[in-house]
Structure 1
Amino acid sequence: MAIGTSGHAAAAMILVALLLQLILPIPAAAAAVPSIDARRTRHLPLPQGLLRGPESVAFDAKGQGPYSGVSDGRVLKWNGDALGWTTYTYGPGYSSEACTASVLRPETATESQCGRPLGLRFHLKSGYLYVADAYKGLMRVAPGGGEATVLVTEVDGAPLRFTNGVDVDQVTGEVYFTDSSMTYQRSQHEMVTRTGDSTGRLMRYDPRTGNVVVLQSGITYPNGLAMSADRTHLIISSTGPCKLLRYWIKGSKTGTMELFADLPGYPDNVRPDKRGGYWVALHREKNEVPFGVDSHLLALRISGEGQIVEEMRGHKSVRPTEIVERKGGRLFMGSVELPYVSVVTRKSTQIEIN
Structure 2
Amino acid sequence: MASGTRGLGATIMAALLLLLILPSAAAAVPSIDARLTRHLPLPQGLLRGPESVAFDAKGNGPYSGVSDGRVLKWNGDTLGWTTYAYNSDYSSEACTASVLRPETATESHCGRPLGLRFHLKSGYLYVADAYKGLLRVAPGGGEATVLVTEVDGAPLRFTNGVDVDQVTGDVYFTDSSMTYQRSQHEMVTRTGDSTGRLMRYDLRTGKTVVLKSGITYPNGLALSADRTHLVISSTGPCKLLRYWINGSKAGTIELFADLPGYPDNVRPDKTGGYWVALHREKTELPFGVDSHLLALRINADGKIVEEMRGPKGVRPTEIVERKGGRLFMGSVELPYVAVVTRKIKDVGLIN
TM over 0.5: yes
**Corresponding position: 1:154 with 2:154:** no
**Corresponding position: 1:232 with 2:228:** yes
| Structure 2 unmatched ranges of 5 or more | none
CA distance in 2, matches of 1:320, 1:180: 18
Residue by residue, what CA displacement relative to the aligned partner does 1:260-303 show, whole Å, maximum 9, x if unpaired?
Answer: 00000000000000210000000000000111111110000000
Partner of 2:276: 280
**Corresponding position: 1:55 with 2:55:** no
Partner of 1:329: 325
2:248 maps to which of 245, 252, 264 = 252
CA distance in 1, matches of 2:13, 2:192: 41
Task: Give the letter for the 1:163 counterpart.
Answer: T
How many pairs align? 339
**Corresponding position: 1:303 with 2:299:** yes
Residues 83 and 23 of structure 1: CA distance in aligned 2, closer, same or farther (over 3 Å): closer
Partner of 1:87: 83
**Corresponding position: 1:266 with 2:262:** yes
2:101 maps to which of 92, 98, 105 = 105
Partner of 1:5: none
Task: Give the letter for the 2:88 counterpart.
Answer: P
Partner of 2:160: 164
Residues 84 and 159 of structure 1: CA distance in aligned 2, closer, same or farther (over 3 Å): same
Residues 315 and 22 of structure 1: CA distance in aligned 2, closer, same or farther (over 3 Å): closer
CA distance in 2, matches of 1:297, 1:151: 36
Residues 258 and 153 of structure 1: CA distance in aligned 2, closer, same or farther (over 3 Å): same
Task: Give the letter for the 1:260 counterpart.
Answer: F
Residues 23 and 321 of structure 1: CA distance in aligned 2, closer, same or farther (over 3 Å): closer
**Corresponding position: 1:121 with 2:108:** no
Secondary structure (helix, strand or coil) at the match of 2:173 reads strand
**Corresponding position: 1:222 with 2:208:** no
Secondary structure (helix, strand or coil) at the match of 1:26 reads helix
CA distance in 2, matches of 1:183, 1:273: 33
Larger radius of gyration: 1
Residues 173 and 76 of structure 1: CA distance in aligned 2, closer, same or farther (over 3 Å): same
* Aligned-pair CA distance for 1:349: 6.0
Residue by residue, what CA displacement relative to the aligned partner does 1:220-260 show, whole Å, maximum 9, x if unpaired?
Answer: 00000000000000000000000000000011110000000
CA distance in 2, matches of 1:138, 1:85: 23
Partner of 1:3: none
Task: Give the letter for the 1:161 counterpart.
Answer: R
Partner of 2:38: 42
Task: Give the letter for the 2:82 counterpart.
Answer: T
Residues 36 and 213 of structure 1: CA distance in aligned 2, closer, same or farther (over 3 Å): same
Task: Give the letter for the 1:204 counterpart.
Answer: R
Residue by residue, what CA displacement relative to the aligned partner does 1:86-145 show, whole Å, maximum 9, x if unpaired?
Answer: 000011111011000001100000000000000000000000000000000000000000
Q: CA RMSD in A?
A: 2.1
CA distance in 2, matches of 1:153, 1:179: 10
Partner of 2:65: 69
* Aligned-pair CA distance for 1:18: 8.9
CA distance in 2, matches of 1:25, 1:182: 50
| Structure 1 unmatched ranges of 5 or more | 1-10
* Aligned-pair CA distance for 1:24: 12
Task: Give the letter for the 1:189 counterpart.
Answer: H
Partner of 2:19: 26
If asked which structure has higher relative contact order (CA below 8 Å, sep 6+), I would say 1
Partner of 2:74: 78
* Aligned-pair CA distance for 1:26: 3.4
Secondary structure (helix, strand or coil) at the match of 2:166 reads coil
CA distance in 1, matches of 2:330, 2:262: 15
* Aligned-pair CA distance for 1:20: 9.3
**Corresponding position: 1:199 with 2:195:** yes
Partner of 1:137: 133
Q: TM-score, normalised by structure 2?
A: 0.93
Partner of 1:315: 311
Residue by residue, what CA displacement relative to the aligned partner does 1:10-38 show, whole Å, maximum 9, x if unpaired?
Answer: x9xx98x9989999993543223110000
Partner of 2:289: 293
Secondary structure (helix, strand or coil) at the match of 1:321 reads strand
Partner of 2:341: 345
CA distance in 1, matches of 2:82, 2:48: 14
Task: Give the letter for the 1:92 counterpart.
Answer: S
Task: Give the letter for the 2:94 counterpart.
Answer: A
